[in-house]
Structure 1
């Protein structure tokens, strides 16, 4: 399981191949991207992009925008760059080797942020979500996705994971929540929220 958290070495290359080719992984990533309602000119960030499946789906939607990605695995950065080589060369996809604790400067505010199956591994999760919220424009969207991997996971496990993510987002100052469920085994939860607009004085 440690390799799925931080792929590296020969085993990490195998893990990356599994993550890229497992049907349920591809379904989960493409589904999550579809929920974010990415527009052609959007600026989007994926945290923990792995082999770059969702990055490719985001780039297919943000055709005149920019897709950024950060991942703490140098191996995954290399795999994702190869998978998205044309968009990287065109300057539409930017993949950075760093962690969520060391967010780079993305210039202008972001329109949307995605994290698939990794928010549970972040240190100081509420603080990390606050950092991400500061990167979003007012009314910008975030989607946190969780497919529980513990033995015997059920729909109840997924529902509890969704509630935990919603609670973290609430503490971090997000609002306007929506929860979507993808019927896999076990089910996948996507918790969507917005960066609230500043109230006029």
Structure 2
């Protein structure tokens, strides 16, 4: 269902496009759902690696089918895990993406601090929110964007930038950088 909804596809592909993923990048998506962004990342990080965690075994299976060739080529790695159980990585990550999931994280500032430790200095993170509550409006998107900015700032990220995709309701993507030590 999530993969078939045009707004979900558009939102995920848009978020990937904002991250300027390079061929050698190491990317992590948290809450990858049906694997739309994972596939887009795999198409960009052709010499790198794309990792994904999702708490749902059904989504791991679904995304695995969508990304089967990249999985076989050992360029995509999907794990059933929550944001509290992010696996260890042998090398720092370049990019992290989370779409419509931060609101479900326990202690999101601490989770973001942990994610920041996984990013190389200068690494990029994008948190995306499209309010899905009944009657959500542009104002709800603005509020969600501000909350994401506050969380990222508290976690130590810098160079925050907000992009908006004009859907109904609008989608906000807050991008930030892991500063050099």
Give the TM-score of the pair, scaled to structure 2: 0.99
- The Cα offsets for residues 133-156 of structure 1, whole Å up to 9 and x where unpaired, read as 000000100000000011111111
The reply on whether 1:134 has 2:117 as its aligned counterpart is yes
Partners of 1:89 and 1:44 lie apart in 2 by 17
Partners of 1:138 and 1:63 lie apart in 2 by 22
1:22 maps to 5
1:9 maps to none
What is the Cα deviation at residue 110 of structure 1? 0.1
Please state which structure has a larger fraction of its residues in helix: 1
Structure 2 alignment gaps of length 5 or more = none
Within a 5 Å distance, the mapping from 1:1-201 to structure 2 comes to: 18-198=1-181
Q: Considering only aligned residues, what root-mean-square deviation do their CA atoms show, in Å?
A: 0.5
Partners of 2:128 and 2:120 lie apart in 1 by 21
Moved over 2 A (4+): none
SS at match of 2:127: strand
Partners of 1:103 and 1:79 lie apart in 2 by 20
Larger Rg belongs to: 1
- The Cα offsets for residues 77-124 of structure 1, whole Å up to 9 and x where unpaired, read as 011001000000000000011110011111100000000000111001
Give the TM-score of the pair, scaled to structure 1: 0.89
